[in-house]
Amino acid sequence: MPTISLPDHSELVYLDENRSAGRAVLLLHGLGATSDSWALQLPALTAAGWRILAADTPGFGRSRAARPFHSIAAMAAFIPALLDHLRLPKISLVG
């Protein structure tokens, strides 16, 4: 799975499936879970023509947090960094 470094020095590990699809969806896992929680939905989303992004929020799964997070807003700060890195101006968000 690809990894990017975030501005706060955390490392974000993410899934990027079906890259040639014309539309993208970012799947956000629940608190204490990982991107693996979306595994059963991947085949249906791929068949429906979606590019699938699913990241392990920093501090969960394979992603490393540079510091502890104390709010949902702080945990979600990785989203713009990921979209900028992938040059995706528009996505659908599920989570």
Q: What is the pLDDT of residues 5-58, one digit of tens each?
A: 888 888 888 999 999 998 999 999 887 889 999 999 999 999 999 999 999 888
Q: Which two tokens stand for residue 2?
A: 């690809």
Q: Does the pLDDT value for residue 60 go beyond 80?
A: no
User: What is the arithmetic mean of pLDDT over 55-76?
Assistant: 78
pLDDT at 70: 60
Contact partners, residue 23, CB within 8 Å, separation at least 6: 49, 50, 51, 91, 92
Residue 10: strand, helix, or coil? coil
